[in-house]
Structures are given as C-alpha cells and as structure tokens.
A and B are shown apart, each in its own frame.
Chain A
C-alpha cells in the first residue's frame, strides 16, 4: 500500500539499468523455486481470501446479496457515511498534500526535514493511537471538548470526528506522492511562466497542475482507498452508533459480530471491489507517473552546458 513516488524514481532508474543486470543469471532451480514460493504465498494470503469474500457474499444468491445491502437501513447508512467521510478527507489531504509538497520541493527553510518526517508520522503511528489522540483532544473530557459543547459542536461520536480520524491516517498519501515528482520536474517552468506574465494562480493551474497530474491522481486514488477502508482510528472515535456513526468497515465488523455472515460479507465484498478497482487504476497511473518522471529527467538534463 505504501508505494510512494520515491519508489517510482528508483523503479524508473532500475528500468534504465536493466540490461546490465541480465549478464548474471541464476540457475533454473532458484528461478522456479522463488517464483513458485511467491505464487504460493500470494495464493494463500491474498487470492483465496479475496475469492472467499465474494463466495460468501453471494452464497445465498444475488437477490439475497442485494437485500443484504439495501434492505438494512443501517447498512445503507454506513455506505452513505463512507461516501461522505472519504471524499471530504481526500479533499482535505489534497489541499494539504499539494501545499506541503510545494513547500518541501520548492523552498529551503528551517524545519524542512522535520516537516518531511512529520508527514510520515501517520504511517508509523497505530491508527488506534491516532483515534485516542483525537478523543483526548476533542472528547467530553478532552482539552477542547467542553468549549466545543458550549458552542454546539460535537466532534467525537459524530461525522467531524470520523473525517478528522480518516484525514489523519491518510495524511501522507498525496504529499508523499507529489514531493519526488515536483522535485524531479523542478521550478524552471514555473519561473518561466511568471516571467511571461502569469499570475500565481495562472502559473499553478496552467503549468504546475498539468505537470503533476498523474502523480496527483495516483495519490488521490491511494488516499481514497485507504480512507474508505480505515478501521482502527475510526473505531475509536465513532462510538458505533448504528445508523449514525458506523462506516462500512465498522458495519462489516458489527454484522460479523452479530453472526450475520451473509450481510457482513456483502458489505465486505463492496470494500474488496473498491480495492480491486484501486489496484487496476494504480497500475495504469503508476505507468503514467513513471513516464512523467522519465520525461522530467530527460528534459532537465540536456547535454552540455554549465550551471
């Protein structure tokens, strides 16, 4: 899941070097042995469970599957809630990600490496801890809780809390994706745009965005997948109020705990489908981003010249 743009840079470079590494060949036993092992592991850990999710979901037929999804108003609500929380979190991260990537790729300022490290924090902090931090801040006994209640705002056990938790967990995706792309492309085209009379926004929309669009889209797709699937942090802040603060992953868990397997797997199959679509888009976008980086490398390292 954590496939960042830096990996892509490395990939693009490895791709260029590929012919040189062909000189050394491992014996067939090693080749086939390793391939078989990889296929086996993937089959057991990934293919079988994924197929099983769909098998269980459709075990009682398509009609029952449909009934499980739309017949239960709490399930329906959880789907709607996820469709609200995830896009809002994605938009928040889009704005933050572009701003942070811009700052890190374009400016040298004190605390720059600290900012870079902090962006990665949500990757290393357990989502449950992230949720607890939010409860400590915004909950009834939290620092801002009483003040928020006085002003009629509820964060914990309500949609804003879900959005905050989801945003926190997905924070690195867009920024991580954009930083290497923006660094590779450089700021010369933007400078050129300004010298040609473009305003800041014109420069951003006409030059920057088209240059980073594939990396941006890739970040959004990953961010969205993670946002919709988020469980841990959301679990802590939601309070599990059916029909009110249950998102899809929470609903899956609750139905499962209630021994309602067909319904649980029906919702799970939706999340899995989302994952499969994401995977498909990811493969396409990864290729486009790689081309974008290769193009950047080709255009900025023209032969000859002095700095």
Chain B
C-alpha cells in the first residue's frame, strides 16, 4: 500500500483532480481520512467479524453494536469497470475509469471507486488492484480518497 497518490508509477507528480468531497461524520471519518496513515479502514463487527460498508449503526449479520474500524490490506479485485467519457462535472481528465472493487478480506464489501495509473485498455474484470490515496486538503478536515491501481506484485 502506498502512502500518497500524488506520485505515479513513473515518479511524476500527478495532478489531483477536482472532487466533490464527502461530508465527514463520526461514522465515515475513518474511511475518508485514514489514508493519511496509508490505511484503508472499514467498520467491523467485533462479535462476528463481519465488515460493514457503507457504515451502518448495527452489524447486519448479528445485530451487534460492538463495532470498530479496522485497517485492511488494501488489496482488492475489480468486479466491474466503465470508461467514462462524459464530462458530467469538473473532475479527472477524460476518459477516466470508474470501477467497483471487492476487498479481499470480504468480497461482499464493495467500493465504487476510480482506477488510476492504468490505461483503460489495460483494465479487466478480475484484475488485482491495491489501494492508493488521493489527498484533498480541506478546511473541514483533509480527505484521502481511496482509489486503486494495478497490484503489479500480485500473481
């Protein structure tokens, strides 16, 4: 897992695109800010071990409220992706890749995210990816968007 996103695979300084940022709450803050420490964190039930995303106040499996956020490895698999050409709003340079990834710890935990440092024609479903973070300074608290790039170290 890399600690910053602003360094691409060839070491160049990548442009951080405009993003609408999430409104931070006690429930989502770890997810959106733990990238400062290079961590991808999810809520996890401390009684049954189930990861919960998006955050909910109880464990959907055992209904326990005994939950904490825990770091995962950041390893994930591309469940699907789309190459977006439409300028919906200011954002990454077109075209950009929107993907759904499944984390290896529990594939039912999915994230809609972006794939970075990869060309659209190099992406495929099933591809192994790893988290990296896009840092957005903000007066309400810096946000580190978890985005994903090819995990070149994977088999």
**A and B form one complex:** no
Residues of A within 8 A of B (CB): none
Residues of B within 8 A of A (CB): none
